[in-house]
């Protein structure tokens, strides 16, 4: 008997048992979680938020004053209202935070704990606390408790160290001075906070302490009815912002609970009024003509029946557990992925892609074709990647996927689900309506959309941001190894989304890179990676530099000069560097822009591209430094007028290079 049938049989037996004593029905359950430290698995990091050593940083770590905002959102919506019982849940949360700055005279604007109907809540830096947008203050809906460290007259702040309750506005409903309890929000010390809302009393209390012991009296107590704002499901999280400072806002631990939901009994048990109540079943009247034989038989059946049931249950449980323990490694890995994306059926994906018809192919990645999937039941559209992996390769990929599935960044193509059936691995991603950067960038403007200069700058910044996240902010460093324009997708607003982790490698921070077979696409590969096969974050930086030059110039990394019949190939990096040496670097700008850009901005972007594509990996800037340069928070890296040359002790043949498409093989 296969495990599925065993499980069905066990469920049948349990149903028989419960048919005599049905369980109480509970329409809503209280939520509870506790994170003594953080991982990327349960959270979405927005803006400049990042993870480092189990601690969440909500604003950027910089050596120079900057403006920054970031949010952390718990991935799963929390139920606050139960329609069956018409009850709004109460809640309590506790967390530890710190606000530090290298400059005692310059601090950020503060940190907030918020509840929002939107899991993408991210606002502007400065006095907007990463909650509200400077251009549209009413855009984001939220309930928030702010720990404000800057006096902002725009929002009628009382002082620069207050705690306040905000409802859809940064003008606090009520606020209190933290110094009244000898709590200095800007001390840099770890501060413990407790926020408790009791719906029956219609009161919200906020407690603060330098210790982990909750004070007896609250710093802030607000009489407020939040039931109108706590809809059925709400997301919870934190946000923070800075305005021209080096302040760092961190969250070190977090626990959260809802309470107040009561179990609802079925109407057939009107006397069951509490969890501890006992249902009394009246006994049948005794027979006037008792039969001793029948009594003994009934007694025997009464003892043997339950005994037989529990013996059968034990046997089948033992067999079922043994079967489950003998399942393949792939099944265990699938369980790891279940915590995040959902599992699709093969039948569902096959129908959505019309049997994986060639007309539905929208791209080709490092490990398979990508199909457009239209789900008839919901009308939603996704992108389905069909893997070429099988056997052991499939198990290895699932092992990597179990970690990659937990990555969360606004510039990543988000994994929605997966399927491992029929000997195939299928990955379901969110659909990007504007396709790949490669397609949009190199298409004829007469037949498509020309990327404006502002959109190209946004692409450069977004790609740098997500690479900084992968390289420095994840639990394990992620080396992508295949950064190129065809692996960068564009969403509906032309924001960049990095995808295709088919060649990605995971490694511990501060560990030496492991030599592997060189993989990727010619034109984007760093020279030391071609030579030694060692992938590091600096090899990703090189590929990023080539992409940036491609975006600015509108030319491919390697092009034939003089038309298709010409045999002379021109390398984009060499071409831009030669123009820089002649003092004409801005002439490398995409001619289709017709000069519609600021010359100093174009020059800076081209120099960033050259500095990243430097032949010597030791001279290339870190991707974090690149992000600071693009955000005008750091000075550009000096670039030599003449491209440096490197020499290696051995040679590499073209056969050593693994390329993921025919075009790359031809180029090589």
Binding site for ATP, by residue number, is: 385
Instruction: Kindly report the backbone phi and psi dihedral angles of residue 216, in degrees, each rounded to the nearest multiple of 5, phi listed first.
Output: -70, -30
> Residue 491's closest CA among 434, 541, 545?
434
Q: Structure tokens of 93? A: 């949360």
Output the CA torsion sign for 589, 593, 594, 599. negative
Residue whose structure tokens are 């037996």: 13
CA gap 335, 343 in Å, rounded? 10
Residues 6+ apart with CB under 8 A from 67: 125, 126, 241, 242, 243, 244
Strands (DSSP E) found in 232-297 = 233-245, 248-259
> Contact 251/56 with Cβ under 8 angstroms?
yes
> Contact 526/538 with Cβ under 8 angstroms?
yes
CA gap 57, 70 in Å, rounded? 8
Output the CA torsion sign for 5, 11, 13, 15. negative
Name the region of 554 (left: φ>0; alpha: ψ -120 to 50; beta: rest): left
**CB-count burial class (<10 Å; 0-12, 13-18, 19+) for 6:** middle
Residue whose structure tokens are 């400049």: 48
Q: Structure tokens of 663? A: 């075009």
CA gap 52, 250 in Å, rounded? 10
- Quick one: CA torsion of 205, 207, 213, 215, rounded to 10 degrees? -80
> Residue 461's closest CA among 554, 551, 575, 574?
551
Residue whose structure tokens are 């599935």: 405
Q: Give buried/exposed letters for 189-211 (b at 16+ CB in 10 A, else e).
A: eebbbbbbbebeeebbbbbbbee
Is 168 catalytic? The answer is: no
CA angle 477–478–483, rounded 5-degree value: 145
Q: Which of 109, 482, 540, 590 is catalytic?
A: 482
Helix (H, G, I), strand (E, B) or coil at 181: helix
> Contact 573/589 with Cβ under 8 angstroms?
no
Which residues lie across from 45 on neighbouring strands?
72
* Secondary structure element (H or E) that encloses residue 440, with its range: helix 437-442
- Active site amino acids: 482
């Amino acid at each position: 008997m296969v495990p599925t049938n065993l499980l069905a049989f066990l469920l049948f037996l349990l149903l028989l048992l419960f048919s005599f004593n049905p369980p109480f029905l509970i329409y809503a359950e209280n939520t509870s979680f506790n994170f003594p430290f953080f991982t990327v698995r349960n959270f979405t990091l927005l803006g400049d938020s990042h993870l480092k050593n189990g601690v969440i940083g909500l604003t950027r770590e910089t050596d120079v004053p900057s403006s920054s905002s970031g949010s952390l959102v718990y991935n799963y919506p929390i139920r606050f209202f139960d329609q069956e019982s018409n009850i709004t849940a109460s809640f309590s949360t506790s967390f530890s935070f710190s606000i530090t700055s290298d400059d005692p005279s310059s601090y950020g604007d503060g940190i907030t704990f918020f509840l929002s109907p939107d899991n993408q809540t991210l606002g502007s830096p400065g006095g907007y606390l990463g909650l509200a947008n400077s251009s549209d203050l009413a855009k984001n809906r939220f309930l928030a408790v702010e720990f404000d460290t800057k006096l902002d007259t725009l929002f009628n702040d009382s002082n620069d160290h207050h705690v306040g309750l905000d409802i859809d506005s940064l003008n606090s409903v009520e606020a209190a001075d933290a110094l009244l309890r000898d709590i200095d929000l800007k001390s840099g010390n770890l501060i413990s906070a407790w926020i408790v809302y009791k719906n029956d009393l219609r009161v919200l209390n906020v407690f603060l302490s330098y210790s982990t012991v909750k004070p007896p009296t609250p710093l802030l107590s607000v009489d407020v009815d939040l039931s109108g704002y706590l809809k059925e499901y709400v997301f919870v999280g934190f946000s923070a912002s800075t305005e021209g400072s080096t302040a760092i806002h961190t969250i070190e631990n977090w626990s959260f609970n809802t309470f107040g939901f009561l179990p609802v009994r079925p109407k057939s048990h009107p006397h069951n009024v509490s969890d501890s109540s006992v249902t009394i079943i009246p006994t049948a009247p005794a027979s006037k003509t008792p039969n001793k034989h029948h009594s003994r038989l009934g007694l025997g059946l009464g003892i043997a029946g339950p005994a037989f049931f529990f013996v059968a249950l034990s046997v089948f449980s033992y067999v079922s557990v043994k079967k489950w323990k003998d399942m393949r490694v792939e099944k265990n890995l699938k369980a790891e992925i279940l915590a995040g994306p959902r599992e699709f059926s093969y039948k569902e994906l096959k129908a959505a892609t019309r049997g994986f018809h060639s007309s539905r192919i929208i791209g080709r990645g490092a490990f398979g074709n990508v199909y457009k999937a239209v789900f008839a039941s919901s009308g939603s559209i996704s992108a389905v990647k069909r893997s070429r992996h099988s056997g052991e390769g499939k198990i290895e990929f699932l092992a990597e996927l179990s970690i990659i599935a937990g990555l969360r960044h606004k510039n990543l193509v988000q994994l929605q689900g997966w399927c491992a059936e029929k000997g195939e691995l299928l990955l379901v991603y969110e659909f990007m309506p504007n396709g790949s950067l490669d397609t949009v960038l190199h298409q004829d403007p007469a037949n498509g959309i020309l990327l404006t200069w502002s959109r190209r700058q946004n692409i450069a910044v977004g790609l740098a941001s997500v690479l900084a996240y992968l390289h420095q902010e994840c639990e394990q460093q992620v080396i992508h190894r295949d950064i190129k324009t065809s692996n960068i997708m564009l969403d509906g607003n032309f924001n960049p989304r990095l995808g295709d982790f088919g060649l990605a490698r995971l490694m511990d921070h501060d560990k030496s890179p492991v030599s592997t077979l060189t993989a990727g696409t010619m034109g984007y590969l760093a020279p030391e990676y071609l030579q030694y096969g060692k992938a590091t974050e600096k090899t990703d930086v090189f590929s990023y530099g080539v992409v940036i030059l491609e975006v600015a110039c509108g030319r491919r990394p390697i092009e034939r000069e003089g038309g298709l019949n010409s045999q002379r190939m021109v390398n984009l990096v060499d071409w831009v560097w030669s123009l820089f040496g002649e003092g004409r670097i801005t002439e490398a700008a995409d001619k289709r822009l017709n000069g519609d850009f600021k010359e100093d901005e174009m020059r800076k972007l081209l120099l960033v591209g050259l500095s990243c594509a430097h032949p010597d990996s030791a001279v290339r800037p870190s991707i974090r430094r690149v992000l600071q340069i693009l955000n005008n928070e750091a000075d550009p890296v000096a670039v030599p007028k003449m491209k440096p040359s490197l020499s290696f002790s051995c040679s590499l043949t073209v056969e050593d290079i693994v390329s993921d498409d025919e075009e790359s093989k031809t180029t090589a």
